[in-house]
Amino acid sequence: MKKIVGITCMILGLGLLQVNGQSGANTLFKGNSSLESWGVVLSPEINSVQIFDQGVAMGEIALGVVLNNKWYIGGYYGESFNSIDAPQEMRPGVSELEFQSYGMRIEYTVAADNLLHVSFPLNIGVFEAEEVVSTSIAYNEVSYFAVTPGAQLELNISKYIRAFAGARYQVLVNEIESDPIIRDVDPGLSLHVGLRVGLFERSIN
């Protein structure tokens, strides 16, 4: 979590430095008009996914910068609202499981000024499954490097608020941390709804 916050702060800091530096000498962005606008957006959402044939609701929040009202770059963190029963092959070693995810998000939006438009997020990060022992302690844990492409439909509610709904498919590329008991976790397809709140388009000029 600390790493994700740090990465996000660095991205935001670099973006603000670039914007503040536009009033001086010509730069790569100034003059070529490569960067015409910028913004900062907070995105809370709820994901619904099936893991071991059981429903899991995951809350997720992302924070990042928007460039030219098209590209979004930031960090995300999510965790499950509910735990699920471990499958029979994990018992009696593990009885319940909960989940976390965190990493970097890159997203491209098409025709963001239209009332309804589409965007294509890509999450690159870590997905974790861990044993639930009590409300505050987890022991057995497995983590994966995960790549999660998706597509979503967005609605412009106001200048500063957008609502969205869509689907993603999470691919677990390889294990980062293995566990002798927790195995074969495969989230796969998930559905999500959420809001995007912030400054989407502030002109550089």
How do the pLDDT tens digits run along the chain, 205 residues long?
A: 444 444 444 444 444 444 444 444 444 445 455 889 999 999 999 999 999 889 999 999 999 999 999 999 999 999 999 988 888 777 777 788 999 999 999 999 999 999 999 999 999 999 998 887 655 555 678 899 999 999 999 999 999 999 999 999 999 998 888 877 777 788 889 999 999 999 998 888 7
Among the listed residues 161, 136, 163, 166, the one whose alpha carbon sits nearest the alpha carbon of residue 151? 166
Residue 57 CB contacts under 8 Å (≥ 6 apart), including other chains: 46, 47, 48, 80, 81, 82
Residues in a beta bridge with 149: 122
The predicted structure's pLDDT at residue 135: 52
Polymer length in residues for the chain: 205
For the entire predicted model, the pTM comes to 0.78
Bridge pairing between strands 96-110 and 84-85: antiparallel
The predicted structure's pLDDT at residue 46: 97
The predicted structure's pLDDT at residue 153: 98
What is the 8-class DSSP label of residue 26?
A: -
